Each structure stands twice: as structure tokens, then as C-alpha cells.
Amino acid sequence: MKKESKKVEKLCSFYVSNWHLVTMLLPYINEQIEKNTKIITILENNIEENIKKLLERLNLKNKEKILKINWKNFNSKKYEEISEYLSEQNKNIENIIIKEENKNSKNVINNSKNSEGVIILVNGTKENIEENNLIIQKWLKKAKINKAKIINFFEVTEFNNKISEILDNHDKIFNTSGEREISEVFEGYEKKKKVIGEN
């Protein structure tokens, strides 16, 4: 039997305020929930109130499921704490998916096993995002997840002139129109090729 390879895709996004972040996220999250994608957050900024207020004004099918996602801030630098948090969130989301399937069908096929994988949303300072990404990558190697996306959200005022460095460390970009190739958003952008031994 052929072993399924694990695929991790990294996306970056830039936002000017928590409202801008939430406005970008909600339609995308709603769409991903339709695909049974698990959504996990590691947020330096608490955006729960923004999410609740905007959901009141939008007509989205999956409002209840969106509200069950942890939109509060989670700050830790310790691998064990972050790894435990990720595992706990993954398990909670899987239980929610299974519960929904059981409620909606008598002859249920467990779609949580056939989900589109997991999306991990990360925001905070550049340093915090980089540290969390290292821990997430380690956790993903140990977890039984075949497909994952890490979407890193950088506040515009935080990164100043390091945008090329940020873009070089990501596969795609996420904006108000969803996932895009970086060159579609930043015309003329070419990813720098890393030389072995280069920091």
C-alpha cells in the first residue's frame, strides 16, 4: 500500500486592522467549512468580538460553525503548550464535524476522515509568526494530517520593508479575493532561490 505524502502549503497575507483581517477571512472560512476543512487558529490578537459583530451583518450558511472556532488570542512560546493546543483544537473540530454529520444523516459516512485537511491561521509579529510556524511544522509531521495550509497574517505596520523576505518564505498569498499566486498580486515578483548554507 502506497503511503500518502504530507503536503504543507504556506500562504501569507497582509492586513491593516482587525476589521480588515476579519472581512478577508469570513467568506473564505465559510467556503472551507463547506469542504469539511478543519480550521485552527494561533492568534496574537483576539478577534472574537470582530467576528461576532461581522457575522451578525452577513448572511453566511456556517455562522454557528464559524463561532465554534477559537478566535481568541493564544500566546505561548513553548513547543509542548502549542503542540497540545493544536492537538486539542484539531480533536474538537473533528468532533464537531462528526456530530454535524450524525445530526444530518442516519447512514453517515465519516467525512471528517475525508476532509480537505486543516488550515492553521496565524497572526502576530513577524518573529512570533516564524516561531509558531516552526512548531506547527513539527506538530504536522507527528499528526496524521495529509494536507495542511498555514496562512500567516502580517499587520502592515509590523513588517515595514521586509515584504520581499516574507513573500520568499511563502507559496501563495491570501487576500480579499482568496488564495492567489504571489505574482498575480505583486506584478513582476520573482521568488529568490535560496542558496544552501545561506541564512
Give residue limits of the domains in the chain: 7-185
The cell numbers describing 23, all together, are 472581512
**Tens digit of each residue's pLDDT (9 = 90 or more) over 92-101:** 777 666 666 6
pTM of the model: 0.81
Name which residue leads in pLDDT, 16 or 160. Answer: 16
7-185: which CATH number, 2.60.40, 3.10.20, 3.40.50, 3.30.460?
Answer: 3.40.50
Q: What angle do CA 156, 161, 167 make, to 5 degrees?
A: 75
**Tens digit of each residue's pLDDT (9 = 90 or more) over 172-195:** 999 988 999 998 988 888 877 655
Cβ(31)–Cβ(193) under 8 Å?
no
